[in-house]
Amino acid sequence: MRERLLRQIDDVAALDELSRLRVNYDQAHAPESGFEAAEGHWHVDSGTTLLGRERPGPPERGGLWETACHLVGEYEFADARILRGVYRRDSALLGRERPGPPERGGLWETACHLVGEYEFADARILRGVYRRDSALLGRNMLLEGRFFGLRFYVGVRVTGVIDEERDAGDGPERVWGWCYQTLEGHLEQGRLSYEVIKHLTTGKVAFRVAGYSRPAPIANPVVRLGFFLFGRWTQQRFYRNIQARITDLVRGAQRGRPLPSPAVRPDGIVLAPSGVRPHPLDRLAQGWIHPGS
């Protein structure tokens, strides 16, 4: 008998169903098309904070402006949140390599491997099921959102793969990653990308999460209220936790610790991240598949 990787549902049937679902929002009216084109309320960050006031005229000696410039120059403001345009960008510095192209078997390649397998996910919040033989671009993933005794099964589709060298303003970067968009029935509408970045001049290697989102229409009033109260908090907690996890995995690998790999069933269905199996008590959890309208 085939082992179910997600206790509540038939994972094969649920994955098959995703191919019939569409992205659940109009991309032409999303933040990536420009702030003016965005319709509705999206969770995005402007990156602007009012620090206070000085007297009109040039900056005061030792005043707010000079103090803030000092902090920015020292990178002392960092809270793992880097903002560009209307996208939210959360970055974790994984370490350094020698300047130049990524090193074979180094930090950048290790992080790319983990990101490609969705191994960075925090299984306490989100687990993913996908087919091993599916190409990354166009891959459908069934996600299990976990919140105490509740389980939410939603679909996403990988709609972009990033594999490029780009100018970051302070020097070239080598970037690899991918992004997914939410499908019909998801609790949210939006796009999320995961990127591994090496700054070729300094050798710094970082993992970056970027995206925009907003709640999708939710018919169930209890689920709608719960998502209103805890959805954004859980999302931000997930961002923090995956940064901590991938940092630990990459640095552990550099010290000789074996890299984990997701479980793969004989029929090629993958459960990511590694080390998770359905718990017997999951049978008692309340589950919803495609809870968004």
Read off the DSSP letter of residue 87: B
pLDDT at 10 (0 to 100) = 87
Q: Could you tell me the two tokens for 199? A: 């700054």
The per-residue pLDDT for 88 is 41
Categorise residue 13: left if φ over 0, alpha if ψ from -120 to 50, beta otherwise.
alpha
Instruction: Indicate the pTM of the whole model.
Output: 0.80
Task: List helix spans (H) across the chain.
Answer: 11-18, 64-73, 107-116, 221-254
pLDDT at residue number 174: 97
From CA 235, how far away is CA 288, in angstroms rounded? 18
Where does residue 156 rank: exposed (0-12), middle (13-18), buried (19+ CB within 10 A)? buried
pLDDT of 190 reads 94
- By the 10 Å C-beta count (0-12 exposed, 13-18 middle, 19+ buried), 204 is classed as middle
Report how far apart, in Å, the C-alpha atoms of 85 and of each of 29, 31, 34, 211, 228 are: 15, 9, 9, 11, 26
pLDDT one digit per residue (tens) for the chain, 293 residues: 344 455 568 889 999 999 999 999 998 888 875 555 566 677 763 333 334 556 777 777 777 666 766 655 544 444 333 223 333 456 889 999 999 999 999 999 999 999 999 999 999 999 999 999 999 999 999 999 999 889 999 999 999 999 999 998 889 999 999 999 999 999 999 999 999 999 999 999 999 998 899 999 999 999 999 999 998 899 889 999 999 999 999 999 999 999 999 999 999 999 999 987 767 777 778 889 999 97
